Amino acid sequence: MKKTKSKKKQRRRFVAALAFLLILIGIFFLLFRRRDFSLTYKIDGFDIKETYQKENNVYFFEIAKENETYHTILTDVNFFAQKIIYHIEEYQEKNETCLKIHSNKSKFSPLCIRDSKEVSLSLTSDEMKNHFVIDTLTPRNETYQQISIINTHYHDFYIWNYRGFYHINDQITESISLFSKDIYDSKLKLMAQVEDYLWIPNYNSEYYFQESYILNRKTGKQETWSLKEPIYFDSVILGVYQNEIYLLDKHEKVEWKINPQTKKMTKVGTEGKGGIIYENGWKSITMNKLLYQDVSFVGTLPIDYQMNGAFTKNFSNASILIRENVPNKVVGKTNDAVYYLVGDTLYSYTDTYGEVPLLSYFEWNFNNENVIFIF
């Protein structure tokens, strides 16, 4: 009897080990078999062009019927498949047409055309919206430090108050004090957001700084980092890429790569060797161009937002109207959201919820250059 039980245990262990091995093989196979592709197929009378870009892990779609073409994009996908659309429903109301896309791999937001132009569902008529189940958010309606909190929705807000930040999220309203005097000037442009960190120069210094603060929004802790070399306040941030800040010290003619998480700074550009810039891939650039031209990183996100008479969401060869009027300022963007100021109110736009008011602060009426970080 004991031998029989022992054999059963051995079989179970073998089956468990085999299952674990197969899962590992499947994961590695999925990761390494991903590759760029572009294909076309037909669904419900629509011609679909589906393109996958491995470098950014993104799907692009063109969905055409007769003279109308719709565009959409899926970012940060956790699967790899082809022909992921299996059914399309079409709705028409006067000068509007919208599509409901069905997929067993991902949720698609409705795609709409109004007067031959692609628009967000949020800009269509009530009659059209009635064809769809639209997610809504419950307003919070509180006030902190004269800031009206309308909707936080799992966001962390850090709002500059001249000596530090007001920190607001679903559970917290607090003030974070960093400096003993008000900081107003262009030095503020040297603050940067990297993943879950805020990197802030020590503004108590006069012409240059060799100390910075790091706010960790996950732990709520504040650290002081002594830099191995000073950085002058006439510096500019060229961009952020893969959790690292690329900063040009114009006074010293040096480009730095700064990692707030690991507290490392690396020299990646000098006057003699030039520097680097990200434009849909890394490119070398002369120090003169860095110093005397308005250079910054582009192409780090597959989606861009433009203010040109109206407010549009742009990717590949698509331009989708998301707001009739232009905001005062865009303060942040991710692959699926954009944050902007209109008067004294901070809004977000996503395809899921449309335009949502988040915070209102009278200060923003006359100072929309005030720094806002959103996690």
Q: Taking residues 216-234, what's their average pLDDT?
A: 95
The whole-angstrom separation of Cα 11 and Cα 17 is: 10
pLDDT digits (tens, 9 = 90+) for 257-300: 999 999 999 999 999 999 999 988 899 999 999 999 999 998 78
pLDDT digits (tens, 9 = 90+) for 26-49: 555 555 567 999 999 999 999 999
User: For residue 144, what pLDDT is reported?
Assistant: 98
Question: Shortest CA distance to 44 belongs to which of 100, 94, 109, 117?
Answer: 100
pTM of full prediction above 0.75? yes
Sheet with 147-149, side-by-side order of all strands: 142-144, 147-149, 354-361, 345-350, 338-342, 329-333
φ, ψ (nearest 5 deg) of residue 44:
50, 40
- The share of the chain scoring above pLDDT 90, in percent, equals 79
The alpha carbon of residue 296 and the mean position of all alpha carbons in its chain are separated, in whole angstroms, by 17
Query: What residue segments make up the domains of the chain, in order of their start?
Result: 37-129, 187-300
> Coil, helix or strand for 220?
coil
Residue 5 pLDDT > 80, yes or no? no
pLDDT digits (tens, 9 = 90+) for 137-186: 999 989 999 999 999 999 999 999 999 999 999 999 999 999 999 998 77
Q: Lowest mean pLDDT: which of 1-10, 94-103, 223-232, 270-279? A: 1-10
Q: Taking residues 200-218, what's their average pLDDT?
A: 95
* Residues 333 and 292: beta-carbon distance below 8 Å: no
User: For residue 19, what pLDDT is reported?
Assistant: 66
DSSP 188: G
